[in-house]
Amino acid sequence: MKSSRKTGGGVSRCGEPRRATHHRGGRVAVLAVILAGLLGGCSLFATGEVPPPAAPPVAPPPPPPPVRKKIVLRGVNFDSNSSSVRKVEQPILDETVSLLRDEPRVSVVLAGYADAKESGAMKLSRNRAAAVRAYLVSHGIAASRINIEGFGASDPVASNATAEGRAQNRRVEIRAVD
């Protein structure tokens, strides 16, 4: 006749209640304790529960969009009724060349202006923008990145009533475009 022996009960090594097991010779209980220890804890083996799956790793946030530099041509002015780039303006234009080389994906618009007393202001303002474009292209900036516009005497930045004001209005401005 086979006998069955009741083992278990009480508290396990990790402090959880033991499950009573009917078996021969107590081998199942010993095996359960050994396996539970190998698995890192009693509750997993003793209760038969499976831990929930680990949460998927959280993807890092996307990098912020690149900061676009604002490019401003300060001090690029022209003599009255002229569209020639003066030597004194070349260091400013050289700095613009450097900025555009650092930002190879940026395209720009050059906007030329004239003062209110200049004849043929629309054509003159466009020729001024074209002169700045020619300078930038001659220093390695792709012509396809540069568009020009002429605005004549519109949108003055200073009064046309004084010589100093008119000199400030004879200018080319640059702006980045998307």
Residue 17 lies in a domain: yes
Q: Are residues 95 and 150 in the same domain?
A: yes
- Tell me: do 108 and 160 sit in the same domain: yes
Residue 79: inside a domain: no
| The pLDDT of residue 143 is above 80 | yes
Residue 32 DSSP SS3: helix
> Are 152 and 95 members of one domain?
yes
Considering the domain boundaries, does residue 60 fall inside one? no
Closest CA to 97 of 110, 113, 84, 86: 110
DSSP H or E run through 149:
strand 146-150
Q: Does 65 reside within a domain?
A: no
Domain count, the chain: 2
- How far from chain centre, in Å, is Cα 34? 55
Residue numbers of the domain that contains 15: 5-47
Q: What's the Cα-to-Cα distance from 13 to each of 10, 24, 46, 50, 159, rounded to whole Å?
A: 10, 22, 12, 20, 92
CATH number at residue 95: 3.30.1330.60
Assess whether pLDDT exceeds 90 at residue 45: no
Q: What is the pTM of this model?
A: 0.60
Q: Rounded to the nearest 5°, which phi and psi values hold at 124? A: -60, -45
Return d(Cα 91, Cα 23) in angstroms, integer.
Answer: 95
Lowest mean pLDDT segment, chosen from 28-42, 69-83, 102-116, 120-134? 28-42
Q: What's the average model confidence in pLDDT over 59-85?
A: 77
